[in-house]
Each structure stands twice: as structure tokens, then as C-alpha cells.
Chain A
Amino acid sequence: MEHNDREYTDMLNNELKDIEPGAGLHSKVRDGIARNVVHMRRRNTALGAVVIAVILTMGLSAVTPVFGRNGTLPQVITAMAAEQQAKKISKTLGTAPVEQTGTALQTSVTTVQTVSDSALSETDGVLALVIANKSGTPVADVLKLRATGLGWGRIMAQLNVSGRDIGKAMSQVKAATATKGKGENSKPAVSNTDGNKIVVNGEITGVSTTLITVAAKTFVIGSTTQLKYQGKAITPADIATKLAAGKLYATVQGTKQVDTSILANVIIVQDTAEQAKQEQVNEQTNPSNEQAAVSNDQQARGKVTVVTATVLHVDGFANDIILNADTKVEQVGAGSTNIAAIKVGQTVQVHVVLSGVTYTAQQVHIEDAYVKTDTTANEDQTTNSAVTTWQGTIAAIFPDKSITLTTEANPLLVIRITATSVLQDASHKALLFATLTVGQKVTIMGRTLTDNSVEVVKLTTTTSTSVNPGKGKGKH
């Protein structure tokens, strides 16, 4: 230390020499410590009590259904995880997740239909199918359990389905749908005609909202025309957008009109070029189904001569076609339906896949419009009168809750909505009368009154309305 430093040291020491801690400081420090010790002891006691309470609650909730119908804590957690997975798979599958899940799990069409017809959300529907599949329980039983208000976790526990089972099933669905998605890119390679029917296969060279030109053939796009792309609905605008980006192909099945125009019934849009014979347009009057020589994917069209739950025979197609749970069935006017809807005598177009020597139907399109006439005892227990189904387009809506409908058979059918009428959309979600609009396509189930008007039992809009995907019902 230099001389100057010593000066400063002395100066400071001199200044601070009287600065000493007071006599009472030690006892103050001690008091502070004692208070802190007491405080810490109390805090630790309180924390201990909380920890014990939490452990006891967790323990109790693990064995007792403290969450009521949702079950025990592990069951609630399992349900949440399962719902999360179902939600994810629903999102991945996009449209008709229940149907796709059913196909992937090889469940029967009836099972899928049962779930679709239930009031469950898409997520819950997927979960119901998976649980039924994994537990080997009829889906109706699962739905019954759910209807009693039980949470999914409790249902799973009751049916001995673990969270791991759900995970495996979801992976299976995902894998199956991914494989199927690839298959759908393959092309049909047959063109044929059947009287006024015509099937054209080729490149799309033009499209507008009302017309589409495929393989130099122009078809009218009407309100009944079904447009499909990779199994999903597509609009002419979407086709135009895709066409602007590159070449696009389509198989079009149409019907010649009186004015010589051809109304497209079904347009299946595809991404890749046809391999052979795609430019052929056969407009001969004698129908003949041709099988593609170069592709495993083929189209067969003709009248159904034999149909069972597993086999379909189409006039003009030499081989038996296998029907299975993966076979999608669609019918004009009914949309997605099931194998039971295929009847002898109907004209069908079948997308067939040849594997070895087996021809399996991937998709059956029933061209005969869906018209159902039945007596539905369940829905008409009081009067037992016939409940008939009509399909048509809303022509006008009146404030007195009556509607005029244009159907094929009747250009002006008056229908009446009553207090007991059920209004729903294609997803079976309830609708308000106020949401119905002119031009909307609807399916009506109802009874004909003496004045020839129809009292509606159930009205279903067949054009899609906004659907809130799979939110669940707050139950786990």
C-alpha cells in the first residue's frame, strides 16, 4: 500500500471508529431467526398437509369414480387421450372420417351406418367404432353406453379396451387410409356407352361452371352432377384451378338429353394420364363393358344380374365382382349408402380392382335414383300411416312453415313442417326452419295428407351445410 493509501485508511478508520453494532442488535438478529424458524415450520407443515391431501385425492380418484359418469382419474385421462387421438385422425381423414374409419377397420357397412345415424360428433363416432372394433362389442351397445352419459374412459374400462388399443387402431386407420389414397390415383381405362348413357375417359380440355370437355366431348354440369376428386367432392371452380396448374383427366359418365346435349351424371377427376384407350368414345347403341388390358383398375357398367352381400355380377362384365367392407356404395339422390342398396336390375358403374384372379369392387355407383317407400313403424306409432320418402329441391318457403318442393314426379309438392317434424342436415345435425333456403336439395320423409300435401316427419338437407367437426359433448 502506498503512503497515500495509508492516509485514506487512517482517515476512514478514524471516521468509523465509533461505528459499532449496538448491544441490542444481536438479540434482534436472534429474534428474526426465531421468527423465521417458526414461520418455516408452519409453512412446511401446511405444504406437507397439501401434499398429503393431493396424494390422498389422487389415490382416491384412482379407485373411486370421483368424476361421476366420467369415472376415475385414470379413466378420465385415458378418455382425454383417446378423444385427442380420434380428433387428430378425424382431422387427418378430412371428409367422412367415420366411414373411412369403418372401412379401415373392416367393419360392416351397417355398423358404420349405425354410427353415422347416431347423434355423435365425428370424433365420438370414430372413437365409438374403434372401441366397438377393439372390444368385439356391437357398436349399438357402445352407443347405448354413451347415451347413458358414461364417459369414454369408463366405457373403455367396461369393455376392456386400453388406451394402447385405441392408439394401435388409430395407426391402423391412418395406414389403411394412406394406402387407399394412393390407390385412388390409378386410372380407369374403359369407355363405353349404354343406350343414352355414355362414359368418356380422357384429358380435360375445358371447364366452366356449367360445361366440361373431356376427350373432346362436352358434358353439361347440372345440379345433379356429382363431381369427385380422390373420393371427395370437388367444384368446377376447383377443377379450373387445378387445370390452370397442369394437365387433368377425368372419367365422365353422362346421359344424352333430348336436345342432344350430354348431362354429366358423375365426373371423376384424376391427376395422371390414361395409359391406353382413353381417347376412345364409344357411342354405339349396344352396350358392352370392356375391361382394361393394361391396368388393374377397371370400370364395369351395366345392369345388376346377381347381388349378394359379398358378390356382384354386372351384365356384360364376365367376372364375379367381390363386395367387401371396403366397397364404397353411392346412389344418385342418396349419396353414400351401403351394399344393401344394390338391387338386381339397377344400372351400376363399378370401379373394380384386379388382384390376382379376383375382381374386387372399390366403388359402386348406382345410377338409378334413390326412391324409398316404406312404412316406418318407429316413426309413426300413433297413426301407423305410410311414411314415404321424396327427394327434390326447395322451390319456395312460406312463413306458415310450408314449403313447395320440386320433385321428379311432382313439380309442385306442398310439404308442411309441424312441431314434431325433425329438420336435419346431411350430418344429422339439427336445423332450424329459418336456415332452409330456396334451391336447397332435400329428402323428405312424411305422410301424405288428404289435400295431397305432405306432413313432414323428417326433412334432411342433402346439400352440405356447415358442420362443426367433432367437438364432443364435454364428456370424457
Chain B
Amino acid sequence: MDDELRTVVTRVHSGEEAAFDDLYHLTVRQLYRTLYTYLMTREDVEDVVQEAYLKLYQVRRKLDDTRSVPVYLRMIAINCARRKFRRSHPITAPVEEEDDVSGTETMKGVVREALQKLSPADRLVMGLFYGDQTSIQDICRMTGEKEGTVKSRLSRARERLREVIDHGT
């Protein structure tokens, strides 16, 4: 993956138009999930994804540090998402419809409900750390927060999630 990404970024940097599509396919899944933990609606996520890739496209000729491209992309996306969030001021993000009510899906519903009870910032840190396996240092770079703040958010999110799952409150 790393080698493939490096090759693609080099091609993007050299101006190959098709390489940007390859970069998109290599990075969009992870970005989509990260944004989903923050925004919780597909519609908003898709808007932010479009905006983030557009911004990345505008600076594509300046991309040279292959390793930092996914971090940089998420940094752009998080900033776009924050702006979108501020603009819309949602009190709580809407819960998407659940079709299935089997055992596993019930569990999914509880987790989603628990996530929604977290603050968006805590949820984002949780998604980055546990969902994307991002290091604390990279989370700090992406969110612009200090390490202590990120760790506090993680701790608070874990506690809240456990509380909701264990006791249903």
C-alpha cells in the first residue's frame, strides 16, 4: 500500500491526470469512515469528501512527501467538516434508519447511539484512533489539538461508550 501510494503521489506530482483518480481510490475509503464518525450522515460526508479532494487537487503539484499525503488529506477534510458543522449547527446528527433488527444489528444500533451521544470532537478522535489506527501524534497534527487534549478525549469517549453499552444510558 505504501509503495503503491508513493508511486501514485509521484505520478500526481509529475502532473499525470489519471494518477489523481488512483490516489482517490487508494485513500477515499479511510477518509470516508473518518468523516462519518465525525458527521454521522452520508450526505454531509460526501460533500466534505468532494471539497477535500478538490483542495487536494489544487495543490497536487506540491505533494512530495508521500507518507504525509493521507494525513494531509484528512487534515483538509477535518477542517472542511468543521466548517460544515459550524455552518449547519446541528444539535444532534440524525440517526440513519435501521432496517435489520437481528442480534448483531441491535448491537450496532447501540454502538451508533452511544457514538451519537459523544461530542463530535470526541467522536472524531475515537474514530481516528480506533477506527483508522492513527497514532496520537498524527491525530494531534490533524486536529491541531495538544496530546493531552487528544488523550482526554479518548478517555472520555471510552468511558461514555462503555457506560452506554453496559448500562444502556
Contact = CB atoms under 8 A, between A and B. Distances in A.
Partners in one complex: yes
Interface in B21-57: 21, 24-25, 28-29, 32-33, 36-37, 42, 46, 49-51, 53-54, 57
A63 B109 CA distance: 77
Classify the interface of chain B: helix, strand, loop or mixed. Answer: helix
Given A8-B161, A20-B29, A26-B24, A36 B57 contact: yes
Contacts of A450: none
A117 B36 CA distance: 84
B22 to A, nearest CB: 11
A5 to B, nearest CB: 7
A6 to B, nearest CB: 9
A15 interface: yes
B58 interface: yes
Interface stretch (A27-35, A122-130, A453-461, A464-472): A27-35
B29 A26 contact: no
Nearest to B49: A25
A376 interface: no
B106 to A, nearest CB: 12
A366 B53 CA distance: 90
With most chain B CB atoms within 10 A of its CB, the pick from A11, A28, A30 is A11
Contacts of A13: 131
A179 B158 CA distance: 84
B131 A12 contact: yes
A14 B111 contact: yes
A20 B33 CA distance: 7
B50 A16 contact: no
Interface in A333-381: none
Contacts of B54: 29, 32-33, 36
A22 B36 CA distance: 13
A9 interface: yes
B46 A28 contact: yes
Interface residues of B, number: 33
B46 A4 contact: no
B36 A19 contact: yes
Contacts of A9: 130-131, 133
Contacts of B57: 33, 36
B36 A16 contact: yes
State which size class the interface on A falls in: 20 to 34
A5 B111 contact: no
B156 interface: no
B112 interface: yes
A37 to B, nearest CB: 9
Contacts of A15: 108, 111-112, 115
Given A8-B161, A12-B126, A33-B54, A25 B46 contact: yes
A353 to B, nearest CB: 74
Given A8-B161, A9-B133, A29 B50 contact: yes
A21 interface: yes
A32 B58 CA distance: 12
Nearest to B58: A36
Contact of B50 (A4, A8, A11, A28): A28
A36 B115 CA distance: 35
Contacts of B24: 26, 29
Nearest to A9: B130
Contacts of A14: 104, 107-108, 111
Nearest to B47: A28
A28 B161 CA distance: 35
B60 to A, nearest CB: 10
Contacts of A26: 21, 24-25, 28
B130 A5 contact: yes
A19 to B, nearest CB: 5
A91 B22 CA distance: 71
* Closest 4 A/B residue pairs (Cβ): A21-B32, A12-B131, A8-B130, A9-B130
Given A15-B115, A16-B37, A29-B50, 4 more contacts: A12-B130, A16-B33, A25-B50, A36-B57
Interface of A: 4-5, 8-9, 11-16, 19-22, 25-26, 28-30, 32-33, 36
Interface of B: 20-21, 24-25, 28-29, 32-33, 36-37, 42, 46, 49-51, 53-54, 57-58, 104, 107-108, 111-112, 115, 126-127, 130-131, 133, 158, 161, 165
8 contacts: A4-B158, A12-B130, A15-B108, A16-B36, A25-B50, A26-B24, A32-B50, A33-B53
